[in-house]
Chains A and B, each alone.
Chain A
Amino acid sequence: MTDTPSDHIRNFSIIAHIDHGKSTLADRLIQSTGALTSREMTEQVLDNMELEKERGITIKAQTVRLTYVAKNGETYILNLMDTPGHVDFAYEVSRSLAACEGSLLVVDASQGVEAQTLANVYQAIDAHHEIVPVLNKIDLPAAEVDRVKQQIEDVIGLDTSDALMISAKTGIGIDTVLEALVHRLPAPQGDAHAPLKALLVDSWYDQYLGVVILVRIKDGRMKRGQRIRMMSNNAVHHIEQIGVFSPRMVPVDDLGPGEIGYITAAIKTVADCNIGDTITDERNPTAEALAGFKPSIPVVWCGLFPIDADDFEKLRDSLGKLRLNDASFHYEPESSAALGFGYRCGFLGLLHLEIIQERLSREFDLDLIATAPSVVYRVHRTNGAMEELHNPADMPDPSVIDHIEEPWIKATIMVPDEYLGSVLTLCNERRGQQADLTYVGNRAMAVYRLPLNEVVFDFYDRLKSVSRGYASFDYAMDGYEEGDLVRISILVNAEPVDALSFIAHRSQADTRGRSICSKLKDLIPRQLFKIPIQAAIGGKVIARETISAMSKDVTAKCYGGDISRKRKLLDKQKEGKKRMRQFGKVEIPQSAFLAALKMDA
């Protein structure tokens, strides 16, 4: 099965917005080429992580090899590459796309193009893909085929005269998709006799096999028993198993140019397998690595602390296990006076953060507190030194800071025009700078430059709520710029609570300070004495609330028979107080931290 000449191979990916039918189409293609019988089909074969299924998103790249007998009687190998669809994984998406020659652009015929689709389709264009527009759900009464075709032409600039009309759900037009893949997509190019040059598309940890690497062969051949070299870190491995996904793993002897498959090589952790790396033969290496390799860099950081301090070890082990499978996520120990021992963790974006947090709680049964997400600031000291700051608690004294730079993004927002006003207001509140505003039919496309820290602060939730869920949003990093940034400390009973401090633009400081103080006031249970809650920049208090004292807490009956019990209770409280010393006199319940850190305004 590896003797397929490359002109009978087609490698493609599917680009679509969430819910526009990517997974259903993939399932349908698998089924109609007979890769799996209908009995073997489980819903959405490709998204195999529980979380992926639930959220309808793809986290790891997956692939499936389909054997298709075309109407011309020839047999073709169609490799479907399922790519992560989210902006957080933009780099991973670009590497997956680099493994293919073409894409199906799937658009819901009733919804039209969404922001996320746009970003991915531009990436496909950058990867020189042949793109076949596919209108899905044409059987729905709300389908507006002509309008959506026009929109694709206007917004993306693709010719839609040959767009395919399908319904993945009912099977309408699936045959036209398969034929289009054969006839409209180019075959992969490559020299079977050149030294091995393969793209490391993705990797994941398998309990039984160790690390499994997804590869796309560009030149040369990859064989079982071969010694290979990773060109980014010069690590040498010995291929133990090589195979293809049908979609089950099927071992083969070797893979040639244009093929997509997997290898295992007794690799312990995915951290040794950098996405986008070039794999070559150790003894007969290729002269030049593939272009576009980038090490992954976290853009959003937050602290993760176990709610139960005894779970710290478990957290450490769990993070280690997760990192086996996700090298893009970083962690380092952190300790907080308020929250104890935990880890400062770096993520590719907010979704990535959410996914890791959710996996920790689901797969490892950990209850965690996450501190407010922070972006990576560049702090320029007066002595000329620059340092990257990803924890507000580490902010140096203002007297030694010359200036601070913050990361900006370029955001694309698509929204029905009746909500445009509120979306623009939101962007302006978040220090946004409008770069472009265009209309397609009754949908507007706004392009804004925004500071990333304004986006990590509940921007998604607000966007969803002001547009009643109709706005779609995507972004790309857009460099660093100097900003008037300050650290806001939160003081409870005059003691700073490190885990609640955050960095904000000076213009937002008052509002945010007030909002968090008033929130804490409601969240912290009343105590023996009244407690001031303050937000401060340096020594200057910018907001203040007071939690009034508890009104009544006394045992009604206490006689001679009750002394022992009551005293033992006091003994215990006294012990507890010793351990709580670091919290000062105020007990801040974990639930208050959780809610305060959510920060939704």
Chain B
Amino acid sequence: MEPFALYIHWPFCLSKCPYCDFNSHVRERLDQSRFAAALRQELAWEAARLGRRPLGSIFFGGGTPSLMEPQTVADLLADAARLFDPVADIEITLEANPTSVEAGRLAAFRQAGVNRVSLGIQSLHGDALKMLGRQHSAAQAVAALEIARKLFPRVSFDLIYARPGQTEAAWRAELRQALALASDHLSLYQLTIEPGTAFEALHRRGEIVLPDSDAGAALYDATAEEAANFGLLPYEVSNYAAPGRESRHNLTYWRYGEYAGIGPGAHGRVQVDGTLRATRRHRAPEPWAERVERDGHGSTDEERVAPPERAREMLLMGLRLTEGIDEARFLARTGIAMDDAIDPRVLDQAIDADYMVRRNGRLCATPEGRKRLDSLLAALVA
């Protein structure tokens, strides 16, 4: 049995960033112990129905999970180890913000069992951090990164580029600076205006102007070029790693493996009683906790994922990866052969246009194809 991945969501932040559309909430006062208990209770409930199975990775995401008490992390990890069969080299990642407070707790997280951190640095420029609504300075980010690199065997951090007014030269310089500080993994995201965010309103009013798609493409190409100079290769649309140092947890998503999601708004794709289910938890933190306290879990509607839907999900995730999709695995996971899942005429055109390659039992989007993946997928799915 393939090991599964466990995602644990901590929905709270110190402040809401204007670009973020994640399930995150700001609370003046927070009963941490209540949410810690609810998370543990929901984990136990999920484990009871999943049964013992190999566990390959755990990921604490948010929100800002570095605001959790380290003890909560330790308790949840101990529960997981008891309820499942962790693989020997299990990857345990925690997302952290590089404020001084959170940097001070990194040692405790390491002690709790976390072996990989992903820091939300976002930029190394003070004015950009201000624009992005971040609570830390560039100096704090660098300091937190240094601490993390001493404490953890694996460290990644996020940057946001293609910001308003950012030139290619300025981004290359910032990225080179970041690469010099990086260990073996980076997530480099182009700024996207998401619905319902503060940036969306500004964008609508024309107060935020993003680079157009030509400029965006140039920045994307520049990003891959700079990262490659430091030995980090794009293994996914926005993720760069030294070979073998990819995020195993995230690879599970993109390879359409199984993952369980615990905590408010968490999603999962798990096999229960022989059927693949899309699981989803109640988004709002307090009602979620109430449900867990009452029913043992905060699940809302759970859907069976039918073969055609599985095929589309696996296509949209798998083509994000440089390695593409293993067609035998595709058939096994979705019940549909690749040739029945995609429009053959579009595939031919995409291969002609050098957007896709199909060889050695794999279907892959090329770098040019990945750059246009949303449109490519819309055309490709049968």
Q: Please report A residues at the B interface, Cβ cutoff 8 Å.
A: 526-530, 549-561, 563-564, 566-567, 570-571, 573-574, 577, 585
Contact = CB atoms under 8 A, between A and B. Distances in A.
A551 B371 contact: yes
Interface in B116-162: none
Nearest to B370: A554
B128 to A, nearest CB: 16
29 contacts: A528-B355, A528-B372, A529-B350, A551-B213, A551-B217, A551-B372, A554-B237, A554-B370, A555-B374, A556-B237, A557-B189, A557-B238, A558-B237, A559-B253, A560-B5, A560-B7, A560-B268, A563-B267, A563-B269, A563-B278, A563-B316, A567-B312, A567-B313, A570-B316, A570-B378, A571-B309, A573-B381, A577-B379, A585-B379
Contacts of A550: 213, 372, 375
A189 B164 CA distance: 81
A567 B309 contact: yes
Given A560-B269, A563-B313, A570-B316, A553 B381 contact: no
B349 A564 contact: no
Contacts of B175: none
Nearest to B237: A554
Contacts of A557: 189, 192, 238
B378 A554 contact: no
B353 interface: yes
B312 A571 contact: yes
A530 B378 CA distance: 16
Contacts of A564: 267, 278, 280
Contacts of B10: none
Contact of B190 (A556, A563, A570, A573): A556
A573 B378 contact: yes
B316 A554 contact: no
Given A560-B267, A560-B269, A574-B381, A552 B192 contact: no
A585 to B, nearest CB: 7
B377 interface: yes
B317 A558 contact: yes
Nearest to B247: A559
Contacts of B238: 556-557
Contacts of A527: 375
Contact of B316 (A552, A553, A556, A558): A558
B203 to A, nearest CB: 15
Nearest to B23: A561
Contact of B349 (A529, A555, A561, A566): A529
A553 B375 contact: yes
Contacts of A530: 353
Nearest to A573: B378
Given A529-B349, A559-B253, A551 B214 contact: yes
A426 B99 CA distance: 72
Interface residues of B, number: 47
Nearest to B22: A561
B371 A552 contact: yes
Contacts of A558: 237, 316-317, 320
Given A557-B192, A559-B253, A563-B269, A549 B353 contact: yes
A544 to B, nearest CB: 19
Contacts of B317: 558, 563
Given A529-B353, A549-B353, A556 B189 contact: yes
A563 B316 CA distance: 8
Of the candidates A557, A560, A571, A573, the one having the most CB atoms from chain B within 10 angstroms of its own CB is: A560
A491 B273 CA distance: 54
Contacts of A555: 192, 237, 373-374
A552 B217 contact: yes
Nearest to B238: A556
B266 A561 contact: yes
Given A561-B23, A567-B316, 5 more contacts: A555-B192, A556-B191, A560-B269, A561-B7, A563-B317
A560 B252 CA distance: 9
Nearest to A530: B353
B265 interface: yes
B376 interface: yes
Interface in B320-352: 320, 349-350
A169 to B, nearest CB: 45
B250 A561 contact: no
A587 B217 CA distance: 22
A527 B375 CA distance: 8
Contacts of B296: none
B3 interface: no
B168 to A, nearest CB: 14
A357 to B, nearest CB: 31
A528 B375 contact: yes
A570 B377 contact: yes
Given A563-B253, A566-B316, A553 B267 contact: no
Nearest to A527: B375
B265 A561 contact: yes
B240 interface: no
A561 B313 CA distance: 12
Contacts of A551: 213-214, 216-217, 371-372
Given A554-B373, A555-B192, A577-B378, A560 B220 contact: no
* The 5 A-B residue pairs with the shortest CB-CB distance in the complex, in nearest-first order: A551-B217, A552-B217, A528-B375, A560-B253, A554-B373
A517 to B, nearest CB: 22
A75 B354 CA distance: 90
B259 interface: yes
A554 B379 CA distance: 13
B259 A560 contact: yes
Q: Which of A530, A564, A585 has the most CB of B within 10 A?
A: A564
Interface in B210-267: 213-214, 216-217, 220, 237-238, 250, 252-253, 259, 261, 265-267
A128 to B, nearest CB: 64
Given A558-B237, A558-B316, A570-B316, A552 B220 contact: yes
A532 to B, nearest CB: 13
Contacts of A561: 7, 23, 261, 265-267
B376 A528 contact: yes
